[in-house]
């Protein structure tokens, strides 16, 4: 049954996600596929599966003109499945138990939803008949690539070189600070003594955030997301909070970050500090401020976002006492890490004018995510 995502009450779905064991995932926020699609000009197909009007699964993917992806530019896909609730409501707990991969293959890949790219957004509610599950779906196997990141293996074709690094939070900032290593505590205190000041706000700080973010991206020899993407995200993000953090030294912006929450989960998806100011330990103060903000918001988990396993960024995050989860890039067709084979481009990009490279941001963001 098609529905309108703008007017739909997602509270039952969010409550179900919160009650399940698969809730530590910013990408499960149902507003994100539609915001991302709007920002990139991609149509979205979102599926809400219910049994007896009770949510049991949610999946959303975006179509870029040649393939489906769930969810571009985030560290995880928009796929939630309450295994226990589904099997209990359908009676499968006493018969053939359905796990997350089996549900993905049977109910998502074999549905009619992904046979071709839609002309506009689709939000479809599927009411599963517990007495005859196979008749609940129009069966047409997807004939285009469907790819998604997940903490679970969902396909034979997969990559597993990325990890999400997260921190289980204490109930107070003081308790949290005390469990950091002496090295992390020293660097946070040093950043304060160095005179770094922090400001937290919303879209009014985008003009401070974006130039530093984009300059850092150029330092890394890469392409960034367009400013319009962040503007739309800051304006339309719901079912959680979103904050911009700005770090200044003698009035100059030298670092920035975005902190997003969904339920009791907090994540830092985008972060940047200018290399020549790293000796001031600005990154430590920014993360510490976001961790404190997450604790004050009642969050139980803070994610530093994803990185390549054993990279310098990954080792930096491990200093904080993080736990790592492997992120699997699952695909219905053979998949490869396209960017790893093009590392030579980084040095070329760094030596070209940033303004020129920035004109390609939207095009690159629509093809590499």
Give 353 or 56, the one with higher predicted confidence.
Answer: 56
What is the residue-averaged pLDDT of the chain?
90
pLDDT of residue 117: 75
Residue indicated by tokens 């790592």: 324
Looking at the predicted structure, is the pLDDT value of residue 284 above 80?
A: yes
Min mean pLDDT across 66-70, 133-137, 229-233 is at 133-137
Please check whether residue 362 lies inside any domain of the structure.
Answer: no
List C-alpha distances in Å: 253 to 138, 150, 209, 220, 245: 54, 35, 8, 18, 11
Confidence of residue 116 (pLDDT cuts 50, 70, 90): confident
Give 226 or 96, the one with higher predicted confidence.
Answer: 226
Two structure tokens written together for 258: 């975005």
Please check whether residue 86 lies inside any domain of the structure.
Answer: yes
Give 98 or 23, the one with higher predicted confidence.
Answer: 98
Phi, psi dihedrals of residue 238, rounded to the nearest 5°: -135, 180
Which tens digits make up the pLDDT trace of 325-363? 999 999 999 988 766 666 778 888 888 888 888 888 888
Please check whether residue 305 lies inside any domain of the structure.
Answer: yes
Taking residues 207-229, report their average pLDDT.
94
Please check whether residue 48 lies inside any domain of the structure.
Answer: yes
Provide, rounded to the nearest whole percent, the portion of the chain with pLDDT above 70. 91
Taking residues 114-123, report their average pLDDT.
84
Looking at the predicted structure, is the pLDDT value of residue 138 above 60?
A: no
Give 342 or 145, the one with higher predicted confidence.
Answer: 145
Domain of 256: which CATH number? Answer: 3.40.630.30
Taking residues 170-191, report their average pLDDT.
98
Q: Please check whether residues 115 and 97 belong to one and the same domain.
A: yes
Quote the CA–CA distance of 104 and 302 in Å, as a whole number: 28
Domains held by the chain: number: 2
Burial class (CB in 10 A: 0-12, 13-18, 19+), 14: buried
Quote the CA–CA distance of 248 and 108 in Å, as a whole number: 47
pLDDT of residue 352: 84
Looking at the predicted structure, is the pLDDT value of residue 22 above 80?
A: no
Beta strands in the chain (DSSP E): 44-51, 54-63, 68-70, 78-81, 122-127, 146-150, 157-168, 196-201, 242-249, 252-262, 265-273, 301-308, 323-331
Residue indicated by tokens 């879209």: 203
Q: Please check whether residues 171 and 320 belong to one and the same domain.
A: yes
Q: Please check whether residues 90 and 176 belong to one and the same domain.
A: no
Min mean pLDDT across 114-128, 152-166, 202-216 is at 114-128
Quote the CA–CA distance of 287 and 273 in Å, as a whole number: 11
Confidence of residue 101 (pLDDT cuts 50, 70, 90): very high
Please check whether residue 150 lies inside any domain of the structure.
Answer: yes
Provide, rounded to the nearest whole percent, the portion of the chain with pLDDT above 90. 70
Q: Please check whether residues 182 and 145 belong to one and the same domain.
A: no
Q: What's the maximum distance between 2 C-alpha atoms anywhere in the chain?
A: 68
Find out whether the peptide bond into 315 is cis, omega within 30 degrees of 0.
no
What residues make up the domain containing 197? 162-329+345-351
Quote the CA–CA distance of 13 and 70 in Å, as a whole number: 18
Please check whether residue 266 lies inside any domain of the structure.
Answer: yes
pLDDT of residue 209: 98
DSSP characters over 49-106: EEETTEEEEEEEEEE-SS-EEESTTSSS-EEEE-HHHHHHHHTGGGSS---HHHHIII
Q: Whole-model pTM? A: 0.92
């Amino acid at each position: 049954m098609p529905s309108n995502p703008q007017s739909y009450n997602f509270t039952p779905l969010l409550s179900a996600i919160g009650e399940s064991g698969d809730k530590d995932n910013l990408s499960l926020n149902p507003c994100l596929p539609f915001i991302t699609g709007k920002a990139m000009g991609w149509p979205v197909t979102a599926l809400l599966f219910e049994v007896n009007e009770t949510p049991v699964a949610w999946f959303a993917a975006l179509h870029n003109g040649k393939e489906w992806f769930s969810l571009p530019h985030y560290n995880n896909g928009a796929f939630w499945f309450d295994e226990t609730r589904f099997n209990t409501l359908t009676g499968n707990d006493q018969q053939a138990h359905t796990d997350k991969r089996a549900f993905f293959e049977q109910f998502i890949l074999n549905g009619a939803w992904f046979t071709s790219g839609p002309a506009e957004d689709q939000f479809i509610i599927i009411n599963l008949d517990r007495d005859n599950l196979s008749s609940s779906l129009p069966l047409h196997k997807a004939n285009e690539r469907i790819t998604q990141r997940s903490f679970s293996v969902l396909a034979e074709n997969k990559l597993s070189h990325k990890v999400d690094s997260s921190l289980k939070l204490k109930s107070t900032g003081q308790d949290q600070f005390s469990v950091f290593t002496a090295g992390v505590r020293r660097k946070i205190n040093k950043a304060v003594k160095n005179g770094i000041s922090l400001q937290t706000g919303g879209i009014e700080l985008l003009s401070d955030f974006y130039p530093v973010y984009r300059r850092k991206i150029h330092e890394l020899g890469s392409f960034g997301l367009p400013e319009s993407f962040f503007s739309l995200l800051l304006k339309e993000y719901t079912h959680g909070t979103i904050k911009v953090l700005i770090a200044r030294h003698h009035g100059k912006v030298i670092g920035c970050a975005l902190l997003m929450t969904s339920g009791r989960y907090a994540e830092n998806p985008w972060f940047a500090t200018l290399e020549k100011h790293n000796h001031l330990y600005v990154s430590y103060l920014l993360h510490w401020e976001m961790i404190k903000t997450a604790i004050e918001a009642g969050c139980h988990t803070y994610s530093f976002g994803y990185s390549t396993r054993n990279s310098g960024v990954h080792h930096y995050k491990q200093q904080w006492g993080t736990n790592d989860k492997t992120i699997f890039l699952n695909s219905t067709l053979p998949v490869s890490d396209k960017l790893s084979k093009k590392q030579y481009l980084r040095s070329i990009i760094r030596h070209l004018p940033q303004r020129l490279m920035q004109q390609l941001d939207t095009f690159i963001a629509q093809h590499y995510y």
